[in-house]
């Protein structure tokens, strides 16, 4: 019986994987169980953010040394999904997601992964490729019903200057299509009311083909971990953030008390600067700042709202939320160990 476990680790800089190395050395984590890594590095999160690639190279070197398998082979098997940009209170960290041996029966939270075929970013073919990959990841997890999928995380290639947000949108639509949340024929960035409330998508220059991680309920997995995913109406949707933490079995009054914080395993949020240039009728300036990228603005703000409930800055928050949750809003997902 597999048991989904998540180890959340800090990093002193983007090449610092010593916390994981220590676990591997101590035997508290065995490398072959690692299924995916999701993390937040301290770059600018844009086209010239190389901290994601630097962390990935460092991580794969470590795993390669431990497992005796080449970095390329590992990269083709283990999705490493990183978001650059730890604006404001956000803290650089990474979650190592494993399927360790367990003994529970019944159903529990499962993970499945898949890599899409290579191809062009931003168009309908990317949508189809990602949809196929999501189906493959579901099968990998043992999830037979799309209704049992709680969250799909997609990471896509940046696709060159000007294409990054389009590639994110295509990845989101592809995942939504596979889940039945999005109709066939939807095209990236056109009708933004179309989307899925259980998809998180991003893109980066260091990615060469779409990577997919699916979380959902499947038979034969241990039931010790809860995942709650909620749509957020906008970047100020504090009630939705609290609801996600409560859905994962935690107190949020207004924040998670110190005694419960160790049960949090991964917090993930997607959002976007509202395209109307206003939030609840009041003008924001994120989209017209020549000095500070709109996504850096967004991550700093949304990340702080989520961190204020979570109790610390270890929040994976990523901008570019087209087709992910409501327009101008996004989604929030919380993984926590049962009490």
> By C-beta, is 124 or 251 nearer to a copy of itself?
251
Q: Is 73 in the site for a copy of itself (CB under 8 A)?
A: no
- Active-site choice (155, 222, 243, 318): 155
> By C-beta, is 54 or 66 nearer to a copy of itself?
54
- CA pair distance 59, 173, nearest whole angstrom: 30
Strand arrangement of the beta sheet that strand 80-84 belongs to: 2-10, 93-101, 34-41, 80-84
Can you tell me which of 30, 236, 246, 251 binds a copy of itself, judged by CB under 8 A? 236
Q: Is 302 in the site for a copy of itself (CB under 8 A)?
A: yes
Can you tell me which of 62, 90, 154, 169 binds a copy of itself, judged by CB under 8 A? 90
* 152 token code pair: 């799909």
Bridge partners of 2, per DSSP, are: 101
- Report whether 275 contacts 330 (CB < 8 A): no
> By C-beta, is 210 or 255 nearer to a copy of itself?
255
- Report whether 131 contacts 208 (CB < 8 A): no
> By C-beta, is 104 or 287 nearer to a copy of itself?
287
Give the x-and-dash track for 131-170 against a copy of itself (CB under 8 A). Answer: ------------------------------x---------
- Report whether 182 contacts 124 (CB < 8 A): no
Q: Is 329 in the site for a copy of itself (CB under 8 A)?
A: no
- CA pair distance 7, 20, nearest whole angstrom: 9
- CA pair distance 39, 14, nearest whole angstrom: 10
Residue whose pair of structure tokens reads 């997890």 in the numeric block: 141
Residue 126 φ/ψ, nearest 5 degrees: -65, -40
- Active-site choice (83, 167, 202, 222): 202
* Active site annotation includes 58: no
DSSP state of 50: -
Q: Determine the interface stretch with a copy of itself among 110-118, 165-173, 212-220, 283-291 (rule: CB under 8 A).
A: 283-291
- Report whether 36 contacts 119 (CB < 8 A): no
We find the least distance from the C-beta atom of residue 296 to a copy of itself, in angstroms, to be: 7
Q: Determine the interface stretch with a copy of itself among 97-105, 177-185, 217-225, 237-245 (rule: CB under 8 A).
A: 237-245
The angle that helices 124-141 and 164-179 make with each other, rounded to 10 degrees, is 50
Give the count of residues interacting with a copy of itself (CB under 8 A).
Answer: 69
SS3 301: helix
* Active site annotation includes 202: yes
- Report whether 10 contacts 92 (CB < 8 A): yes
We find the least distance from the C-beta atom of residue 53 to a copy of itself, in angstroms, to be: 6
> By C-beta, is 42 or 260 nearer to a copy of itself?
42
Q: Determine the interface stretch with a copy of itself among 45-53, 131-139, 170-178, 262-270 (rule: CB under 8 A).
A: 45-53
Q: Is 19 in the site for a copy of itself (CB under 8 A)?
A: no
Q: If you write DSSP's letter for every residue of 214-247 in order, what string do you get?
A: EEEEEETS---EEEEEEEESSTT-HHHHHHHHHH
Strand pairing category for 278-279 and 282-283: antiparallel
Chain residues binding a copy of itself by CB under 8 A are: 10, 12-15, 42-51, 53-54, 57-58, 61, 86-93, 161, 205, 235-239, 242, 254-255, 279-293, 296-298, 300-305, 307-309, 311-314
Active site residues: 155, 202
């Amino acid at each position: 019986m597999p048991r989904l476990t998540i180890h959340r680790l800090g990093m002193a800089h983007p090449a610092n994987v010593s916390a994981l190395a220590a676990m591997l050395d101590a035997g508290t984590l065995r490398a072959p169980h690692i299924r995916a890594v999701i993390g937040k590095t301290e770059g600018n999160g844009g086209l010239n953010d190389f901290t994601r690639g630097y962390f990935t190279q460092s991580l794969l070197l470590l795993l390669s040394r431990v497992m005796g398998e080449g970095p390329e082979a590992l990269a083709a098997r283990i999705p490493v999904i990183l978001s650059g940009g730890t604006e404001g209170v956000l803290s650089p960290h990474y979650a190592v997601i494993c399927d360790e041996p367990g003994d529970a029966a019944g159903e529990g939270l499962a993970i499945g992964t898949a890599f899409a075929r290579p191809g062009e970013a931003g168009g309908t073919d990317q949508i189809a490729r990602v949809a196929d990959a999501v189906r493959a990841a579901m099968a990998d997890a043992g999830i037979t019903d799309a209704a049992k999928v709680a969250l799909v995380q997609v990471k896509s290639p940046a696709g060159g200057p000007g294409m990054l947000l389009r590639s994110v949108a295509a990845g989101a639509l592809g995942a939504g299509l596979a889940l039945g949340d999005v109709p066939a024929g939807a095209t990236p960035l056109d009708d933004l009311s179309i989307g899925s409330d259980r998809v998180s998508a991003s893109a980066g220059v260091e990615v060469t083909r779409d990577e997919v991680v699916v979380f959902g309920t499947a038979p034969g997995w241990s039931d010790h971990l809860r995942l709650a995913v909620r749509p957020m109406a906008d970047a100020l949707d504090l009630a939705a953030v609290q609801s996600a933490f409560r859905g994962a079995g935690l107190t949020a009054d207004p924040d998670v008390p110190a005694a419960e914080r160790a049960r949090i395993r991964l917090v993930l949020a997607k959002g976007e600067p509202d395209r109307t240039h206003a939030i609840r009728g009041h003008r924001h300036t994120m989209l017209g700042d020549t000095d500070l990228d709109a996504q850096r603005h967004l991550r700093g703000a949304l990340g702080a709202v989520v961190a204020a409930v979570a109790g610390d800055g270890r929040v994976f928050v990523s901008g570019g939320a087209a087709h992910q949750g409501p327009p101008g809003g996004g989604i929030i997902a919380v993984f926590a160990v049962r009490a």
